Amino acid sequence: MNTGVIVTIVLSVILVIILIVLISRIRVVKQTQKLIVERLGAYHKTWEVGFHFLVPFIDRIAQNVSMKEQVSDFDPQPVITKDNVTMQIDTIVFYQITDPKLYAYGVENPSLALESLSSTTLRNIIGELDLDETLTSRDLINARMRSILDEATDPWGIKVNRVEVKNILPPKDIRDAMERQMRAERERRETILLAEGEKKSQILRAEGEKESQILKAEAEKQSMIRKAEGEAESILKVKQAEAEGVRLTRQAQAEGYKMLIDAGLTKEVLAIKSFESLEKVADGQATKIIVPSEIQNLAATISSITEVAKK
């Protein structure tokens, strides 16, 4: 093998090696990533989304930073309340990296630093609250922790979005006492609810009886009114019938007397007939003559009827 062939082979191998090295230095940055690039050991730039190339033997990727929101679930931390009750509390921190350079160079271990800061902040906050306030003030604890952590982690390029108290675990004797208290409270509420239910039931029953009596009295009242109205109407009809009978009787009498008068039986004729009858009576042996009152009043009655008929 001659020298020319050997040189060609060597050059080909070198070109292949160079090509492999150049290809290996190509980087494609994704949407949710940012790359921290160092040149000769110093910070050079932060690569955004797109196609990039590292200078061989000079540039290197110092850190690949994820821009997604991240979650750190820390182990339960022993804390002491204001009234000297020791309990276990674990928290969850939701954070996001806002400045990759500060995140890469601000603190040695950001996750460990955030956990330690969260633990000390939680102890300080719980130390200002008693047991009851701790159990009922989760929103207050979350808000204060988020505010403190967000301010403290700002130099590290971290934005704390939310902090949640995951669990609060008091000592066993405290839990037993709380359970007894809750049981007594539930029993008290049950007794109150039963008493209120019985009270409402009695009130409704009394109101129902009252309304029933009112309706019954109203019905009796209406019945009596209708009965009275019926009796009044019956009496009125009887009186109207009697008045109509009297009127018809008088009308018939007037018509009868008129017919007598029309037939020639005037007052004088009736008087003469009466006297003739008395004369026949006087022919007897009686020494006294009693004139009936009807005969005495007959002339006056006929005279009145005659005047009525003329009208």
- Integer Cα distance of 76 and 17 in angstroms: 53
Joined tokens for residue 158: 């971290």
Task: Give the global pTM.
Answer: 0.53
Length of the chain equals 311
Joined tokens for residue 257: 């007397």
Q: Which amino acid is at 184?
A: A
Q: What is the pLDDT of residue 59?
A: 85
User: For 287, phi and psi rounded to 5 degrees?
Assistant: -90, -15
Distances (CA, A) of 108 to 113, 197, 231: 8, 66, 111
Mean pLDDT, rounded, of the chain = 80
Q: What is the pLDDT of residue 6?
A: 78
Q: How many helices and strands in the chain, by DSSP H and E?
A: 8, 9
Tokens 């005047």, located at residue: 307
User: For 177, phi and psi rounded to 5 degrees?
Assistant: -65, -40
Q: What is the pLDDT of residue 168?
A: 84
For the cut 60, the answer to whether the pLDDT of residue 109 exceeds it is: yes
Instruction: Read off the pLDDT of residues 19-44 as tens digits, 9 standing for 90 and up.
Output: 887 787 888 888 888 999 988 888 88
- Please report the sign of the dihedral spanned by the C-alpha atoms of residue 207, residue 208, residue 210, residue 215: positive
Instruction: Read off the pLDDT of residues 128-178 as tens digits, 9 standing for 90 and up.
Output: 888 888 888 888 899 999 999 999 999 999 999 999 888 888 888 777 877
What are the domain boundaries of the chain? 3-66, 70-170, 264-281+291-311
| Overall average pLDDT of the 253-266 stretch | 62
Joined tokens for residue 224: 């009596």
Joined tokens for residue 154: 């700002």
Do 278 and 289 contact (CB within 8 A), yes or no? yes
Q: Which amino acid is at 263?
A: A
- Integer Cα distance of 232 and 21 in angstroms: 127
Higher pLDDT, 288 or 153: 153
> How far is it between the farthest Cα atoms of the chain?
214
| Domain covering 70-170 assigned CATH 3.30.479.30 in the classification | yes
**What is the pLDDT confidence band of residue 303, given thresholds at 50, 70 and 90?**
low
